[in-house]
Chain A
Amino acid sequence: MEFAIISALNGVTYGLLLFMVSAGLTLIFGMMGVLNFAHASFYMLGAYVAYAVSSIFGFWTGVIVAPIVTGLIGMAVERFLLPKVHKHGHAHELLLTFGLALIIEELVKLFFGDFPVNYQMPASLRFSAFHIFGADYPFYRLFIGGVAVVMFTALWLLLTRTRTGIVVRAAERLPAMAEALGHNIPMVFMFVFGTGAALAGLAGAVAGAFYPTNPNMGLELGVIVFVVVVVGGLGSLKGSLLASLLIGLFSSFAVGLDWSLAKLLGLVGLGEWARSIGGLMTLELSSVSATIPFALMLIVLLVRPAGLMGERN
């Protein structure tokens, strides 16, 4: 019971963090058809900007400045770089963002070193939210989840309840028609790209203070975020929310379970045989928790290639 509740809480907060990053990615893809490989780099950049700023001006300034900086960089990328390769097709846009991701990672290594930096949450947030089963549950985890929920509500209200939201959704569905009706679609695209990058930057600034901040964090999270969008269906916000929570929960439960194929076969009396084989058979679930998302992705691909919420392509 204790394990289940703690794992569920951890899984949901991690899932919400994944959603913060994947939402921007899926929004940008749905709208422009650009798969932004540099998206997770904005997440890392957000953490590093927040680290650099917060070491001088304090934590909260860092958390506010980071999304602004990453958002502006995102807009610059959309405005000045992507149009140059647009005529060569989506593959080249993907490759360009891939190159940018590489450059951002190397620049971070250049300025901050190829090792984790000491980016910490402020003492005012370092307390336990509640006491459960003889252990303190850190408030900051709930804070990360809370930021994600607030962000989402705001984004959702913006998209569904405001005039701007209608224009954005129109630009997503039929860009040419929306432009013919007199809306400045390139501007809309730029702001959506900037918002997506800013959201990733915010996620990095908030999560970097809790999880390790190092030059690999972008890639590590990026791969999982890609899995999220494949599982959820690219372009679908609801799908990525579902997939984020699913992967968050799966990963956090897997860490604490010592299940293995040998144990499973033991139920039908084949345990000894499986143990004698070793290798894959005796691998415990906890030691392969990093593998779970990929396995989930392969299963989804087999059963429902378009993703949980994606439209068939």
Chain B
Amino acid sequence: MTNMRNLILGAVFLVLLIAVPPLLDLAWQNALVNILIASLFALAFNLLIGQAGLLSFGHAAYFGIGAFAALHLMIAVENGLPFPTPLLPLAGAAAGLTVGLIAGYFATMRSGVYFALVTLAIAELFHSLAPRLEGMFGGEAGIASMRMPWASFTFGSMLSVYYLVLAWVVICGLGLWAYTRTPFGRLTLALRDNEQRVRFLGYNAHASKVIVFAISAMVTGIAGSLLAISNETANYSLFASAVSSQVVLQTFVGGATVFLGPVLGAAAFALFSFLVSDLTRSWVLYQGLIFVLVMLYAPSGIGGVVEHHIRNRKNLDWSRLAGPYLLALAGGLLIAAGVVFLTESASILFGEEYAMARQGANGGLPAYELFGLIWKPLSFVTWTVPAALLAGGGVVLMRARREIGAIWDSKGHGARPAAKSASMGGAA
């Protein structure tokens, strides 16, 4: 019954993904492509942390390798190699798998935090080496190519690229989901839960981890090659630690314990960065704040919180919960508004433009514009507004948290989700 419903839900979602994009403008289509790629990247990353319990801080390496491999193949196609354009990500898969096998061999020699450090160092190795290798990575400028037409498809429009990316992401996503259902997928979970026991049962733990690592790197390589196909260019900045940390943030905010959690996180972050990156320079700061809040108050991520509610949906008195939840949302929004006000004010007051304006005002502190209003830096009002927002939001949130906690407790499910859902408001 549940399976049937999930299947229908998935089908409806897929139909939406296919039917809606032609109605959108180019910017949105581009954003959707990036969301899909980020989702696949996060899914592949989560195979390691969510399934095998291995925390990689260097997945940019395999993402970048996949992108460069696809570009080299694209250049070859440009020069006359008869290779169907839709199958270009296979190059990324092969490169990701190869590099993943080698890197995974080293990285999985150690476990725990050592593993994280080694993966980070391997990614930095690529990042430091890539600009020096002209032939392979095109130096600092990188390499570029063109999508060649294949059969009756020209791949000239963003929309055709979108469908190509969608097909690959859906196939790989289903493949990864199927993987969790295989005996080896079960073994992967066992590696996370009790590696010692896996070894005693006669499995070769190191070899198994190398395989899991290589599969994750392979799918990451596919995601990277999809980006290369969409952008038609790549340079060494794909190996940067920012790329690696981005996928960590997305996966854990989305929820590493739920299969589709990383997709949720990746979609949310990619969408937000599309919407607000023009408006603020502090987007990464907000991401960091959201991540830390989720780590502190909802360690299982958005996906975990949602899953918990779905599991308990029959036992919950939704009519009683709705009020406190709305209250929590309001409190979270108030606090978010206060934080955004302070951050953007700081961004303006410590920015270069303001320094110029100060010179114009003979070292005084001229007023600045924010959210369409004029604020004076030394005025009492300017700093009372964010203070009131933060304090008010705090009071409202604490009240909501108490009420939600009481309702959950009365249902006999422990005090757990009160803090989580309260913070979810803050995070949103």
Contacts and interface: CB of A to CB of B under 8 A. Distances in A.
Q: Please indicate whether A and B come from the same complex rather than being unrelated chains.
A: yes
Interface of A: 29, 35, 81, 84-85, 88, 90-92, 94-96, 98-100, 102-103, 106-107, 110-113, 219, 223, 226-227, 229-230, 234, 278-280, 283, 287-288, 290-291, 293-295, 297-298, 301-302, 305, 313
A72 to B, nearest CB: 19
A280 B118 CA distance: 22
Contacts of A290: 128
A92 B352 contact: no
A96 B252 CA distance: 11
A218 to B, nearest CB: 11
Interface of B: 49, 53, 55, 57, 106, 109-114, 116-118, 120-122, 124-125, 128-129, 132-133, 135-136, 241, 245, 248-249, 252, 282, 284-285, 287-289, 291-292, 295-297, 299, 343, 346-347, 350-352
Contact of B55 (A94, A100, A288, A302): A94
The majority secondary structure among interface residues of chain B is helix
Contacts of A305: 109-110
Q: Nearest 8 pairs between A and B by C-beta?
A: A106-B285, A102-B288, A294-B125, A99-B292, A35-B113, A103-B288, A290-B128, A99-B291
Nearest to A296: B121
Given A95-B252, A96-B292, A298-B106, A223 B124 contact: yes
Nearest to A80: B296
Q: Does more than half of chain A's interface fall in helix, strand or loop, or is it mixed?
A: helix
A106 B347 CA distance: 11
A297 B352 contact: no
Given A88-B299, A94-B116, A102-B287, A223 B292 contact: no
Contacts of B53: 91
Contact of A90 (B113, B136, B249, B346): B113
Contacts of B296: 81, 84-85, 96
B285 A110 contact: yes
B291 A230 contact: no
A25 to B, nearest CB: 11
Given A92-B295, A288-B132, A102 B106 contact: no
A92 B133 contact: no
A112 B106 contact: no
Given A99-B288, A223-B124, A298-B122, 11 more contacts: A84-B296, A88-B299, A96-B296, A98-B245, A102-B285, A102-B291, A113-B352, A290-B128, A293-B121, A301-B106, A302-B106
A67 B248 CA distance: 30
B132 A234 contact: no
A100 B288 CA distance: 7
Contacts of A92: 295, 299
Contacts of A84: 296-297
A280 B109 CA distance: 26
B106 A226 contact: no
10 contacts: A35-B116, A98-B248, A99-B292, A100-B288, A100-B292, A110-B350, A113-B352, A223-B124, A226-B120, A301-B110
